[in-house]
A and B are shown apart, each in its own frame.
Chain A
Amino acid sequence: MLKQTEGSHAVAEAVALCRPEVICAYPISPQTHIVEALGQMVKSGELTPCEFINVESEFAAMSVAIGSSAAGARTYTATASQGLLFMAEAVYNASGLGLPIVMTVANRAIGAPINIWNDHSDSLSQRDSGWMQLFAETNQEAVDLHIQAFRLAEELSMPIMVCMDGFILTHAFERIDIPEPAQVDVYLPAFEPRQMLDPAEPVSIGAMVGPEAFMEVRYLAHAKQMQALELIPQYAGEFKQVFGRDSGGLVRPYRIEDADTVIIAMGSVLGTIKDVVDEMRAEGHKIGVLGIISYRPFPLQAVRAALANCKRFLVLEKSLAVGMGGILATDVRMAVTGSGLKGFTAIAGLGGRPIPKASLHPLFCRAEQEDLPPVTFVDLDEAAVNKQLERERLNRRSGPIAENILHDKGVISAKFG
């Protein structure tokens, strides 16, 4: 059913269609609207049977989810940013125990400085947690990925984060096709746990495992994600059969067939990128786009194949490996190892900094010219940065960086100047 609705609300509806049995909620922007909506549905009886639990922290949210999932209930929660970090220990634990929890991450920057706006630092910080991570480009895709995520998680008995850009997607109102319950029921079978806590057949879950078997346990987690590389395209294909639209998969190429230059990115920024690419194509540039949907497992083969015919690529990412450069870019470079392809990294949009077409167009042109340093910081205020660096060189007690920068940029000069 087509609806003009908020991304968060649409996701809540999609989650509800998956008939979750336990939902743990702890407020953190920009994920709050999702669990608020689910809370309403449970409270009103619209979503039943379902236990909606207001927990006291994200750590508890994931812990409650671990318990309910282990007891055989389809379990969902959502978080973002600091919240994801606060639950980090339990995040690793859920995957270590092989519990198919589905969690929405409304991607948001990590402080300090505290910042509620979108980038991908939070979920990428959990890159090695053993969770699968699927990135939605649009709210429609966010809706669809949740439905696929439950199926994938439960098939493999491994948890999944569905990542959607905070505010940009979560708070955007747009037209979304909300699936029919009957369709979802056809696509998503009832949860049949691979293991569960059951007095009829007791097991001890969560053993202490020493050097003699720990590597094997970790390898098995890896092997499951390798299986996911097969299942993700398969489930996307079946999704299309049931719902009639393309959604999900490992990667999504756009105008890539004859492209010499390919721009690689994840999430909602792909929309802007595609607009720029369309413009540049109109101008005669041989440029295309590769959207990464499955960040974990990372589809090395699919990426390598997609880039087989190009001459160069630019990874534009909303995350920064401080002291090194790109996070996604590292993975992409891994995928094309030995191909001789030229690759560039652009860090953009950190902490919600807008990524306008006006900035992308020249960036892409320079990439085409191979006229870029290995890592470019898009729209960085170099003057402000340099001023601060200079200040620190001169003055031991140079003060707080963030406030100095704001002062230099005139944002709070009126107040504190």
Chain B
Amino acid sequence: MSFQPVKFYQTGTFTVGNRLLAPDERSVQAGQQRSNAINSGHRACQGCGEALGARYAIDAAMAASGGKLIAANATGCLEVFSTPYPESSWQLPWIHSLFGNAAAVATGIAAALKVKGKQDVRVVAQGGDGGTTDIGFGCLSGMFERNDDVLYICYDNQGYMNTGVQRSSATPPAARTATTMPLGPEPGNVFGQGKNVPEIAMAHGIPYVATATVADLRDLEYKVNKAMSLHGARYLHVFVPCPLGWGTASHDTIRMARLAKETGMFPVFEAEQGEVTSVLKIRHRLPVEEYLKPQRRFAHLFGKNAHPEIIERLQAIADRNIRKYGLLDEEGK
């Protein structure tokens, strides 16, 4: 029989914590002293992937910066549920300006810190996919191009959920949204080319670009850490399922992220200076149906008036990701 090297502690690196690991090897989230950057009492929906992803990412960045961190936030769910007057959930200096300018606001903060000689204080900008891939894209690109010292984190839930689930340029093909209803011969969102912001970020040649999901905390924390160890423009694209917008059970948020990665629908990788340096391999490859079926936004592809041809096209997208990024290991599983 072939032995795996004794690399793991019962649950390997998959669980949040592990009592058997040395303290310095534990995740930030496992710590009793984690900053809980976004505190209890926020008004995110039950099982919100974005609330979770934001805490994962910002807590990690807080840990990496020794608590010296400032965040700029785009308009969107994250902003609305965290800071309705008179209460804020944020535990770090935080500013919300507009929907489309988080990257630029962060640039301004970074400039102020630089001129004041406070470069030990680090800056993150964050927004949803709408605030990143659509309305905030100009500012984001400008921030990249100038290589401003900002880590931009996009929490991608594939649509405008705050306004009632409309399509964004991150909405996947065939998905139902309030503006791409499952009607007519091509139900749901169009099969466009999509707007792959991680790749566009890489095209800017910035120091670091990575994708991650809320299903793999250790990977996400590694990437935040890596990003925080560098200066200049950095981009982290975190996949955060939305129970409300996707029509999934609130307890399935992490499972959906896991399935997106395991089917190849969402490739998880990192890139430095525009070149992919590592990918997170698929552990147990699954057909896209496994990912699509639990989501009501894809319900029109199944059942009585099923659209197997559309599922095939979605599978082709997953297959292409798998091929392009090399998401399977040598054994091809």
- Residues of A that sit less than 8 Å from B by CB: 21-22, 24, 49-51, 53-57, 59-60, 63-73, 75, 89-90, 93, 97, 197-199, 201-210, 212-213
Contact = CB atoms under 8 A, between A and B. Distances in A.
Contacts of B90: 202, 204
Contacts, number: 165
B101 A56 contact: no
B232 interface: no
A202 B105 contact: no
Contact of A202 (B93, B104, B110, B146): B93
A381 B113 CA distance: 55
A55 B148 CA distance: 11
B104 A55 contact: yes
Nearest to A206: B96
A65 B108 CA distance: 6
A60 B101 contact: yes
A63 B104 contact: yes
Interface stretch (B8-16, B65-73, B163-171): B65-73
B183 to A, nearest CB: 34
A18 B121 CA distance: 26
Nearest to A26: B142
Contacts of A54: 146
B312 to A, nearest CB: 40
A60 B111 contact: no
A60 B104 contact: yes
B206 to A, nearest CB: 15
A67 B92 CA distance: 15
Contacts of A22: 108, 111-112, 115
B122 to A, nearest CB: 9
B95 A205 contact: yes
Interface stretch (B45-53, B78-86, B207-215, B271-279): B78-86
A204 B108 contact: no
Nearest to B37: A202
B138 A73 contact: no
Contacts of B132: none
Contacts of A199: 67-70, 92-93, 121
A314 to B, nearest CB: 41
A67 B98 contact: no
A205 B96 contact: yes
B112 A73 contact: yes
A64 B105 contact: yes
Most buried by A among B82, B104, B110: B104
Contacts of B94: 197, 202-205
Contacts of B97: 63, 66-67, 90, 93, 97, 206
Contacts of B83: 204, 206-208
A56 B112 contact: no
Interface string B32-50: 0000000000000000000
B138 to A, nearest CB: 6
Contact of A64 (B95, B108, B113): B108
B253 interface: no
Contacts of A24: 108
B109 interface: yes
Contact of B108 (A71, A206, A209): A71
22 contacts: A21-B116, A22-B108, A49-B115, A57-B138, A57-B139, A59-B101, A60-B142, A64-B111, A65-B108, A66-B105, A67-B107, A70-B105, A70-B108, A73-B108, A73-B115, A93-B97, A97-B97, A199-B92, A202-B90, A202-B91, A206-B97, A212-B85
Given A69-B108, A204-B90, A51 B114 contact: yes
Interface string B136-164: 00110110011000000000000000000
A215 to B, nearest CB: 12
Contacts of B180: none
A88 to B, nearest CB: 11
A38 B257 CA distance: 49
Nearest to B150: A67
Contacts of A65: 108
A286 B172 CA distance: 74
A53 B147 CA distance: 11
B93 A197 contact: yes
B95 A93 contact: no
B162 to A, nearest CB: 11
A198 B93 contact: yes
